[in-house]
Amino acid sequence: MSGWTIGIIGGSGLYDVDGVEDGAWVDVASPWGEPSDALFRGRVGHVRVVFLPRHGRGHRISPSELNARANIDVLKRVGVTDVLAISSVGSLAEARPPGSFTIVDQFIDRTKGRPSSFYGSGMVAHVSMADPVCPRLSALAAEAAKAAGAQTHVGGTYLAMEGPQFSTRAESELYRQWGCDVIGMTAMPEAKLAREAELPYALVGMITDYDCWREGEDAVDVAQVIQQLSANAVKARALVMHLLRSLPVERPPSPIDTCLDTALITAPHARDPELLAKLDAVAGRAL
């Protein structure tokens, strides 16, 4: 595949990107409903960039109310080839302090009630999530995070909780016993949907707090989170520019580009035309 179009999904604290040339906000419709916001499209050198503020400009959408299907669909619809997600997270490990970044490589999904697939009755698909992130893009993000001056941990398990409330102390301790490293509210089903849309996905977790598992320390609150967000956002913007400027001119193919070749199971004669029409962007290549 020739050329990169990097989709950047910005989480809490990262609502825009600097240094993008020829940038403009564009509205893109989706058959899956309303995305979080318009898309900011432009380029950095030879790399095309599409930015989507996950919670909308002004942080107006709750984690439980995000339309992740529409968000991934519109990114795919405008030609995004790879997705870099940047999210604020809490730390479940002493060695991952506030201000540090974690390049996530695994997830445990504890969300509930969120539509988590583009597929269903009339067009069934089962993608593999054994390795849920793109190792190539994750490695590039790790190098960019280090170049941006962030203390960076390569690898880590992200516990996706429903929210919008923060954890109880019992939950926080349980997730630590499970071996989780960071906790957040937005990466699921986002990562699953990116895989279903054949989009290589990487996630940078910007740590804002220690959740509530540490004895003798106040529980996390919004004021504490906001205080750390600003410092994290400066590093995140630098990370994005380092990553975009380091990409080679030609984008080598990824196995994720064609993962639907071994995932679609419904026989052609049994497929629902109405659902197929909605899948035109995310699965059009395979259908």
Asked whether 115 and 189 are in contact (CB, 8 A), the reply is: yes
The catalytic residues are 209, 211
- Contacts for 42-46 with beta carbons within 8 Å, 24 or more apart? 44/19, 44/20, 44/241, 44/244, 44/245, 45/244, 45/245, 46/3, 46/4, 46/247, 46/249
CA–CA gap between residue 113 and residue 66 (Å, rounded): 12
At 177, is the secondary structure helix, strand, or coil? helix
Strands 82-91 and 101-104, sheet pairing: unpaired
Q: Which of 25, 85, 26 is nearest to 55 (CA)?
A: 85
Q: Which residues contact 201 (CB under 8 A, 6 or more apart)?
A: 82, 83, 85, 132, 133, 134, 137, 190, 191, 194, 195, 256
- How far apart CA 231 and CA 136 sit, in angstroms, is 27
